[in-house]
Amino acid sequence: MKWVLVVVMVGATTAGEVLQAAGMRRHGEIHDFRPGAIGRGLAALARNRYVIGGVAAMAISFFAFMKLLSMTDLSFAVPVSAVTYAMETVLAKYLLKERVSGLRWAGAALVICGVTLVSL
C-alpha cells in the first residue's frame, strides 16, 4: 500500500510539474507583484491548458501525499518523492527544450543520490 501510494504520487508529480513549467513558460516572465496584477495573472493562468492539466495532476499527487503522511514519517514521505528529479530533468531537456549543462546534470545527480540516501 505504501509503495502503491509512492508510485501514484511520483507519476502525478512528474506530469504535473512538467505541465506547470510548460504553461508558465508560455505565460512569460511575471514582473508585476501588486495584488491586482497577480489577480489578472491568475485569471489568465486559469485559461492556460497546460496549467489546468498541471493543477489536476498535482491535486492527485497531493492527496496521495497526504495519505502517505498519515502512514509514515515525514522524513520518509518527502525524500522518497525525489525520484521525480531524474524523470523531470530528462523531460525538461527533451520536452521543454532546456539546455541542461554538464553542471546541471552533475547537480541533479548529486541531489538524486542525496535524496536516495536520506530516504533509505
Partner 1 sequence: MTSETARLRLKTWICTAIVVFSNAFGDFFLKRGLPESAHLTGPLEFIGALFQPWVALGVVLLIVWQMSRMALLSWADLSYVLPVTSVGYVLVALIGKVLLNETITGKRWAGIVLIMAGVALVSGSAPSTVPRAVAPVGGSR
With CA atoms as reference, report the closest residue to 55 among 20, 28, 18.
Answer: 20
The contacts of residue 13 (CB under 8 Å, 6+ apart) are 57, 58, 61, 81, 84
H or E segment at 67?
A: helix 49-69
Among 2, 4, 39, 75, binds partner 1 (CB under 8 A): 75
Using rule CB under 8 A, residue 88 touches partner 1 = yes
CB of 72 to partner 1, least distance (A): 9
CB of 29 to partner 1, least distance (A): 4
Burial (Cβ within 10 Å: 0-12, 13-18, ≥19) of residue 87: middle
CB of 45 to partner 1, least distance (A): 7
Using rule CB under 8 A, residue 104 touches partner 1 = yes
What CA dihedral angle connects 82, 87, 90 and 94, to 10 degrees? Answer: -140
Chain residues that interact with partner 1, rule: CB under 8 A:
17-18, 20-21, 24-33, 37, 40-41, 44-45, 47-48, 51, 58, 62-63, 66-67, 69-71, 73-75, 78-79, 82, 85, 88-89, 91-93, 96-101, 103-104, 106-111, 113-120
